[in-house]
Structure formats: structure tokens, C-alpha cells
Structure 1
Amino acid sequence: MSEKPIQNRAKDPRKVRLLKDEHIMELFGISRSCLYRWRINGFIPFKKIGHTNYYVEHVILKMLYLGAGKLPNDFDGEDDLDDWNDLVI
């Protein structure tokens, strides 16, 4: 009796690129305090590991393409946001 492989797996964690605060500030042309407000208000998804904030690159790029605003409720990247759960650093 073999189990079927899970079809809805997140992307391979080795292929997920992470960005740091400096990259985000440069991409959006914002200050560190603005990025802080975005994080606090939930405008940008991130994970803090140690003293460093990390952002999933393909999620950030989608935000850039959508006008650098808050992700819409119908954002098709729910599985993208779940990459955090499968990501091992």
C-alpha cells in the first residue's frame, strides 16, 4: 500500500529566494522607517529570523507588478505565502 504524493506542495525550498530589508528598500524606493510601517501594518509579508527580516522574492515581485500596494484579498499566491512553513534555513 503506497501513498500518493501530495499534489499541493509548496515550491522547493532550495529554489525560494529570500530578500533582506536593504533589497526591499531599494526595489520600492522607500526608507527604513517606511518599510517598518509596512511590516507593522501588514502591507508586506515577512519573517524575522534572528535579527534579520526576510521576504520571499516572488511574492515581493507580485507586489511590484500590482502597484506596490497591499496584496488584494483574491491574491492567488496563498501557496506562495505557505512557503514560509516549508522553508528551512
Structure 2
Amino acid sequence: MIFNGFHERELSLELGIYLLYEAKKSAEIAPGVGSEFTDIWVVSKNNYKKIDEDTIEIFEKARKEKMKKNNEALSETFQKIEEAE
């Protein structure tokens, strides 16, 4: 989560929740971390709220798009390295 900017003090709640989701999805490769369900609850001093499934689906689409762009950027970088050799 620190790698993705979670340590920044000016982080919006929305981005913080997304980064939490992304970290959970990354952790699913570890033994004991379930991958069937992802429940996210926001708890404040006076309230609590479960993040709905529609929002989770939006997070998953954003995560997949981010991974796709990262993979494309890596492929371009490797191609440039090969061309330079």
C-alpha cells in the first residue's frame, strides 16, 4: 500500500479505499487470503458503511485496466532495450 501512495496524508477516501482493494487483491496469492469474497467496510467515529458490490466491480475493472497499461508499458520498454542492443 505504501508503494501505491497510501502513506500520503492528502489521500482522498475514495483513493484510499481503492488502494486497500488493490492491496487485498495482490495479497490473494498468499496462503490463507481468500479470493472468493471481498468485503470492504468504512468505519468512522460516528458511522460505518459497507462498500457495495457495484463499487467493487468498478474497482476490479480499474485494477485490470491499470495492470494492462503497466504490462503494455513494460513490453514497450523491453522492445526499446532489444532495439538498442
Higher relative contact order (CA 8 A, sep 6+): 1
> TM-score scaled by structure 2?
0.26
Richer in helix (by share): 2
Q: Which of the pair is proportionally richer in strand?
A: 1
